[in-house]
A and B are shown apart, each in its own frame.
Chain A
Amino acid sequence: MKIGFPKNDKDYVSTANPCKVCRPLGACLAYRGVEGAIPYLHGSQGCATYIRRYLIGHFREPVDIACSSLGENEAVYGGESSLVKGLHNAASKYDAKVIGLATTCLAEVQGEDLRPGILKYGKQEGAAPVVRASTPSFAGTHIDGFQDAVNALVDQLATDATPHPGFNLLPGMVSPADLRHLRHICELFGAPFTMLPDYSETMDGPVQDDPEAIPEGGTPLSDIRRMAGARATLEIGRTLPEKETAGQNLSDRNGVRLWRTGLPVGLRETDAFLARLETITGHETPAELSLDRGRLVDSLIDAHKVVKGRRVVVQGDEDLVVGMVSFLSEMGADVVLAVSGGTSGKLEAEVKRVCASVREAVPKVIQGGDFRDLEEAVDALREAGQAPELVVGTSKAYRLCRKWGIPLIRAGFPVHDRFGSQRILHVGYEGALRILDQVANCLIEARQDDNPVGYGYW
């Protein structure tokens, strides 16, 4: 049975089975990566609860998000008193060091200026600093919200421009395992750095006898303050906007040199990332990483026949899609379709760029798409005898893969139907090795299962 729609080339007015979630979700996740921070939504109660549920389903960690719980009165007459009271309640009960405020659609449509309310709260004794990001969901996606919050943190907290030899790493919305690995890589380079945000512990913590209301971990406020005096910023993301990112902000305001790289997925993107780290720190790539690189190339060679020419679909957030297309192309896979709900407008050009030196054909790219678009594109490929054999994407692609009878390798966000979503490692040579093994084994398994002999060696 067809899950979605008949083949149709017209532009749909409706969105069906979205490939994106809302902007405040990204902001809440970013705020979770700041030490002692409580995310706070100014809006109606449902937004906070839905976002919590969605994040909890992926990370399997408690995710507390406070909310103004605006009702009809506040929607009509303004929510300032709710905001002041809510900020006070949230900060005092959670003993928060900082409140990460994001706005929901309700607050944005209503258009009330939140600054007077925040100022009023700030005058109270013992008030926590409030960082404010504007995150209307009717423009952009969760990725934009994530970047909004990181930019707001830097914009409103990075006030100490005293020069120091450290650098800033802005990793973007990646997994806790990615954050841990990126930190490890930077530590190997031996120069001091600040990674913002860092939810590697807060979103993947240990069982506890007496957990804190706000889990331990996160980028310390004192480090964020000093980001304005860093020697450079390394901002990850090729589909970020030109303006209004944290890296650009630090560059414009404090003259902190900005470097941008892609998400370091696969060989060349990790090479590029490490090359930037060499430039910034003045140190050579450490031997441990060179050894990993050698292992990766060795493994690519071992697996090349299994992967070569196999048709793969990639779906997810834009920068991960770029990285995955890049790495799968390095393996020799035939990426036939790349789909993202992201709306940067840069996806197609970036996909072309990473394909350039390793393959001739460029996959069809759908930006700002939904799963109806993905389904139609794959159905068209199937009809043309080009049926994809594998999807690399989020768990939301599962029902379509089930329909087509092809495997799904889960990557990115969200992964709601597997354990260990917070521990999926996408980045670095080490992440690449894991992805390669998974892709190759998945393709072997399909061939093994389809084969009457039951080969025990491959």
Chain B
Amino acid sequence: MSGLTSIFEERAGQILTVGDGRDTIVCDKKSLSGAVSQRACVFCGSRVVLYPIADAIHVVHGPIGCAAYTWDIRGALSSGPELHRLSFSTDLQEHDIVFGAQKKLERALAELIEIHHPKAAFVYATCVSGLIGDDLEAAARKLTAQYGIPVIPVESEGFKGTKRDGYSAACKAMMRLVGTGDISDVPKLSINILGDFNLAGEIWIIRRYFEAMGLHVVANITGDGRVDDIRRAHGASLNVVQCSGSTMDMARAMKDKYGIPFLRASYFGIEDMAESLYAVARHFQDIDYSVMTRAREVVRQELTKIMPELKEIRKSCEGKKAAVYVGGSFKAFSLIKAFRHLGMKVTLVGSQTGTSEDYREIQEISDPGTVIVDDTNPLELLAFLKNNDVDLLVGGVKERPLAHKLGVGFVDHNHERKLALEGFEGMLNFAREVRDTVTSPVWLFTPRKERRPV
């Protein structure tokens, strides 16, 4: 990334250019003090993973900010109860800080359980509850005994690590539920879907594919999630893990404890979607070969539906360039491939929480000259967008104004999206949005285009 002066020296190792010699990237590191990281905190990591469990209440034990900023924040849809769309907090005050707030938490939980009759309650620790030393575990035990529902503390003190640690804490919390339900009627051909959050109804699309293959889905973890399903999750024969960063810990724990194998999947883009279905089918084909036959049929049918329009769209997108900055790196792989389908090149790939293994794989599929970044910041992103004439940035809400400010297109691939991007139909939605973005006339009027006419 020549000519870029905005890299903080300490961050130099977290950025590399494919093909320029160095092939390891520094990652999974605490954000640099004074930099404007796009990351959040441990609490955020836990909150996003557990958020879609719709028949539980989610109670934040802390001052108001943590609860206010996560109120109805994701597009994680529910087919039934919608308790997850409410924001509950103990709204800690000065008095609570001085004298402790465990009693307040217990009373708040009792009140909320009595009003809402949830199937479970998740109690999130925050920086403040951690520092004042409230015993969430004891409070949870007491309320569990009193109301007979699982009240589960989540060790999500904001300062105790990075967002990844929050994912782990969420998995740990869910593992308390797994194994407590009756699995006598779970069939052999069964899976759990891990790491999908049902944004814009995506898990419904994916479930439809799996069900068409003859598979029974025991638990959605966590999109459109239900407490009783998670309690029975140990009955499934296979865990299919998408967002590896967030739920891989749970898959590993279930393998250790219940011997359930897992495989990684991605539902973005044509190849990855198809390959995910085939991989699951391969797992079951020795028991029942028709699963594979049906998987092929699903892929064939779905492709027939989308390919003609996709080819049309490609004509409008061919030759354009994209930058990708997403939370989890699995999305980055799939996006690189998806853009190839549209005839587009990805020249920057980054994630907030990728592992070295993830980044190695990204390098392998990226063209020379592609820049790869870990945990970047607005200055770097601005510099990159300025120095490279990309047509589009894919990211989350925080990145959108950076792109727009420079007159660069933007596609939301984060948790607020309202359009399903998973599955074959999701690929078509994605392609349409990319086309509508890059072919909009508004870019003609931006300073960068006036300076460099098309």
Contact = CB atoms under 8 A, between A and B. Distances in A.
Interface of A: 1, 3-6, 8, 12-18, 20-22, 24-25, 40, 43-54, 56-57, 60-72, 74-75, 82-83, 85-90, 93-94, 104-106, 109-110, 136-139, 141, 205, 207-211, 213, 396, 399
A409 B89 CA distance: 27
A110 B131 contact: yes
Contacts of A66: 34-36
Looking at A51, A67, A70, the one whose CB has the most chain B CB atoms below 10 A away is: A67
Contact of B398 (A16, A20, A52, A139): A52
11 contacts: A4-B86, A15-B67, A16-B89, A17-B71, A17-B87, A46-B41, A65-B36, A71-B161, A75-B131, A90-B34, A105-B62
B88 to A, nearest CB: 5
A8 B112 CA distance: 13
Nearest to B91: A15
A82 B33 CA distance: 6
Nearest to A50: B69
B111 A49 contact: no
B132 interface: yes
Contact of B86 (A17, A40, A48, A64): A17
B69 A106 contact: no
Given A14-B112, A106-B128, A109-B128, A207 B447 contact: yes
Given A4-B86, A50-B40, A60-B404, A138 B8 contact: no
B406 interface: yes
A85 B40 contact: no
Contacts of B107: 13
Looking at A64, A88, A105, A109, the one whose CB has the most chain B CB atoms below 10 A away is: A105
A246 to B, nearest CB: 23
Contacts of B398: 49, 52-53, 56
B157 to A, nearest CB: 8
B454 to A, nearest CB: 15
B441 to A, nearest CB: 14
Contacts of A20: 64, 68
A138 B401 contact: no
A16 to B, nearest CB: 6
A109 B43 contact: no
A14 B88 contact: yes
B57 to A, nearest CB: 10
A62 B378 contact: yes
Contacts of A106: 127-128, 131, 158-159
Contacts of A90: 34-36
Contacts of B104: 13
B407 interface: yes
A208 B32 contact: no
Interface string B398-419: 1011101111000000000000
The 6 A-B residue pairs with the shortest CB-CB distance in the complex, in nearest-first order:
A46-B41, A89-B34, A22-B65, A86-B34, A209-B447, A86-B33
Contacts of B85: 399
A75 B159 contact: yes
Interface size on B, as a range, is: 35 or more
B111 A45 contact: no
Looking at B6, B8, B36, B161, the one whose CB has the most chain A CB atoms below 10 A away is: B36
Nearest to A54: B69
A44 B127 contact: yes
B40 A13 contact: no
B44 A46 contact: yes
Contacts of B382: 211, 213
Contacts, number: 230
Nearest to A74: B159
B22 interface: no
Contacts of A51: 65, 69
A4 B96 CA distance: 25
Looking at B8, B65, B90, B92, the one whose CB has the most chain A CB atoms below 10 A away is: B65
Given A61-B401, A61-B405, A109-B127, A69 B40 contact: no
A382 B447 CA distance: 53
B405 A208 contact: yes
Interface string B196-208: 0000000000000
A45 B31 contact: yes
B120 interface: no
B87 A18 contact: yes
Contacts of A74: 159
Contact of A69 (B33, B44, B65, B97): B33
Contact of A45 (B39, B68, B126): B39
B59 interface: yes
B71 A18 contact: yes
A21 B69 contact: yes
Given A15-B89, A22-B69, A69-B31, 18 more contacts: A22-B63, A24-B65, A43-B127, A44-B158, A47-B65, A48-B37, A50-B65, A54-B69, A63-B401, A69-B35, A89-B8, A105-B65, A106-B131, A109-B97, A207-B404, A207-B447, A209-B448, A209-B451
B386 interface: yes
B93 interface: yes
A207 B86 CA distance: 36
Nearest to B132: A109
B149 interface: no
Looking at A60, A68, A89, A138, the one whose CB has the most chain B CB atoms below 10 A away is: A138
B406 A207 contact: yes
B90 A207 contact: no
Contacts of B32: 69, 89
B351 to A, nearest CB: 15
A83 B108 CA distance: 36
A14 B108 contact: yes
B145 interface: no
Contact of B63 (A83, A93, A137, A211): A137
Interface string B81-125: 010011111111110110000001001100110010000000000
Contacts of B404: 60, 207
Contact of B378 (A53, A64, A75, A88): A64
Nearest to A141: B64
Contacts of A13: 90, 104, 107-108, 111
Given A68-B33, A89-B35, A139 B69 contact: no
A18 B447 contact: no
A4 to B, nearest CB: 7
Contacts of B40: 45-46, 49-50
Contacts of A40: 34
B128 A18 contact: no
Contacts of B264: none
B446 interface: yes
A210 B386 contact: yes
Contacts of A399: 72, 85
B279 interface: no
B405 A207 contact: yes
A138 B405 contact: no
B397 interface: yes
Contact of B33 (A15, A21, A52, A89): A89
B255 interface: no
A15 B131 CA distance: 21
Looking at A6, A12, A14, A141, the one whose CB has the most chain B CB atoms below 10 A away is: A14
B263 interface: no
Contact of A3 (B86, B126, B378): B86
Interface in B344-403: 378-379, 382, 386, 397-398, 400-402
B144 interface: no
Given A13-B104, A56-B400, A62-B378, A137 B65 contact: yes
Contact of A18 (B67, B130, B379, B402): B67
A75 B64 contact: no
B34 A211 contact: no
A40 B72 CA distance: 27
Contacts of B69: 21-22, 50-51, 53-54
Nearest to B94: A139
A348 B162 CA distance: 43
B62 to A, nearest CB: 7
